[in-house]
Amino acid sequence: MAPAAVKATGYLISTLSVLLLGVAAWPGAARAGLLPALILGMATSIIGMALRLFSYELEKRQPGGTHSTGRHS
């Protein structure tokens, strides 16, 4: 498996984890009036992972940038 595919798979698993934990926390957050905080926390976590993955893709496309192995070319 290519390093980029491993990273993408890891971020997809992390996103799924955020969603599953959000589903589990939803009833308690609703009772406590904390749904906006729960939704915002889930959204920012997923957006952050997407931006990190996007940054790796940008680095791969830049000449002399850091590649998915973490080494400079």
Residues 6+ positions from 69 with CB-CB distance below 8 Å: 3
Give the C-alpha distances (Å, rounded to integers) separating 21 from 12, 55, 73: 14, 26, 39
pTM over 0.85: no
2-58 pLDDT, tens digit per residue, is 888 899 899 999 999 999 999 999 999 999 999 999 999 999 999 999 999 999 889
Instruction: Please report, for the chain, the start and end positions of each structural domain, with discontinuous segments joined by +.
Output: 34-59
